[in-house]
Amino acid sequence: MKLTNNFQENTGIVEAAIGFNKSYDIGRREIKIFEKGINIYFLTGMVDNQNMIEIMSSILAIPRTKEYSFDLIYENLAHHNLTLIEDLNEIIYNILNGMAVIILEDSLKAISLDVRSYPNRSISEPDMEKVIRGSHDGFNENFHMNIQLLRRRIKDTRLRNKLFQIGNESPTYVCLTYLEGVCDDYLLSKVQERIKTVETEHLIMTDKGLEELMIRRKKLNPYPLVRYTERADTVAVHLYQGMFAIFVDSSPSVILAPCTIFDHMMHFEEYRQTPTSGTYLRWIRFLGIFISIFLTPIWLILVSNAALPGVLEILAPSAEVKANIYLQIIAAEIGVEFLRLASIHTPNSLSTSMSLIAGFLLGDFAVNVGLFSIQTVLLVAVSAIGTYLTPSYELGLANKITKLIFILAVLLGNWYGFVIAFLLWLTYLIRLKSFGKPYLFPLFPLNFKRLMKVLIRFPFDNKSMKNKE
């Protein structure tokens, strides 16, 4: 709906939509210039008061010797970020997004001023992505601050930030970020088309809701097809690898895609150490992820077939425990999930005490009363540590579900069941794609050079030295 020459009608529509006189935080400042009405609308808690005072002062200071016009008001506004709006719906969206909007009498244009001052927490290191060395700043819920944290790291003229609004009832800003010429053009057009075709009332669940709306297939797929990060340096590095990033207003995490399973297994700490140390850390992490999936199922196969040779006989479950070995494993795995969820919902001041109680007292009690064998507790604990070694929380959960499926397959079909389940799992991952990119790349399809870069942390190349050579 376009603005009309009827000032009262324009302001009436806007005030009814934003809830003026119904919500205490809707502000309106009425000013008369040359007997013409000027109304300024804003959210009182989301604008910078000093900026608002300067804007109003600049309007009131306009010389009365000149003739009233839209250009006169526009040229005398003491603000650097002004946008002209001709649509009433856009005016409403701008006000609700924290802008100040000026509606003028006898004008078919309104002026939007970016005077936002969002309430937000300070910049701090993300809890899930801590590093020993390196930057310790991370994204927060302030959309524009997150973009600037990325700008601080990338001074490349190819950096592009395209803004979208998603949500029919509660519009939310979404920013598609990429490096022009580095990210594939066909991929970008495909992603932009998906963003534009998203139809929803709101994005209260922010980035995760957007991901599910964009990826319409694979609804039951447990494996993450995008990577989430709260680190600006991680986003910057992945943009140079040809990925795109999606920022969603009010979310501290950023979507990175297309990604492979190996992208979820990398950690920034590897690149803050020497190539040898980085490779060591990477192999340890890969080993931990492998253990988190396969240790328990393989142990169950060996125990069921009495095939624990030599030293491994110490891992045979005690005959004194009456409970079935499969029931022990399933109960222990579920117990670990209980503890993990409890630690998430426990206040920080109590979480350490809760962990000690759970880890020592409950585990020791379960063994002493004969619910679990000590071997069961040991194997499940080692497997859980492997899960926590996984940098991606989403991948860790997916691997946990895969492990439970393997355990069920062993229960139903012994090692035959495990082999069938493993082949089905591998086939599924081979067919899985993230925005057209194979999920197991560079393992499948095989790219030996890229695979070596996944397995080994190579030193950074000096391009000037290469040119001299």
pLDDT tens digits, one per residue of 361-395:
666 766 776 777 888 888 888 898 888 888 898 99
pLDDT at 359: 63
Q: Does residue 121 lie within any of the structural domains?
A: no
**Residues 137 and 216 reside in one and the same domain:** yes
**Residues 444 and 387 reside in one and the same domain:** yes
Question: Do residues 249 and 427 make contact, with C-beta atoms less than 8 angstroms apart?
Answer: no
pLDDT at 356 over 60: no
pLDDT at 381: 85
Q: Does residue 2 lie within any of the structural domains?
A: no
**Residues 21 and 43 reside in one and the same domain:** yes
Q: Does residue 264 lie within any of the structural domains?
A: no
**Residues 54 and 25 reside in one and the same domain:** yes
DSSP states along 134-195? S------S-HHHHHHHHHHH---TTEEEEEEEE-SSS-EEEEEEEEBTTB-HHHHHHHHHHH
Q: How far apart are CA 277 and CA 456, in angstroms?
A: 10
What are 114-162's pLDDT values in tens digits?
998 877 777 888 878 888 877 888 999 888 889 999 999 999 999 999 9
**Residues 150 and 18 reside in one and the same domain:** no
**Residues 181 and 312 reside in one and the same domain:** no
**Residues 276 and 304 reside in one and the same domain:** yes
List the domain range (segments joined by +) for residue 327: 270-451
Higher pLDDT, 110 or 63: 110
Higher pLDDT, 183 or 322: 183
**Residues 301 and 166 reside in one and the same domain:** no
pLDDT at 226: 94
**Residues 242 and 327 reside in one and the same domain:** no
Q: What distance, in Å, lies between the first and last C-alpha atoms of the chain?
A: 64
b/e 74-102 (16+ beta carbons within 10 angstroms → b): eeebeeeeeeebeebebbbbbbbbbbbbb
**Residues 215 and 158 reside in one and the same domain:** yes
Domain-ending residue, one of 212, 229, 259: 259
- Per-chain mean pLDDT for the chain: 87
Q: Does residue 146 lie within any of the structural domains?
A: yes
Q: Does residue 18 lie within any of the structural domains?
A: yes
- 306-315 long-range contacts, CB within 8 A, separation 24+: 314/375, 315/375, 315/378, 315/379
**Residues 155 and 84 reside in one and the same domain:** no
Q: What is the pTM of this model?
A: 0.85
Q: Does residue 468 lie within any of the structural domains?
A: no
**Residues 254 and 159 reside in one and the same domain:** yes
Find the mean pLDDT for residues 274-284: 93
pLDDT at 468: 47
Q: Does residue 91 lie within any of the structural domains?
A: yes
Number of domains the chain is built from: 3
Find the mean pLDDT for residues 288-298: 94
Question: Do residues 95 and 15 make contact, with C-beta atoms less than 8 angstroms apart?
Answer: no
Q: Does residue 200 lie within any of the structural domains?
A: yes
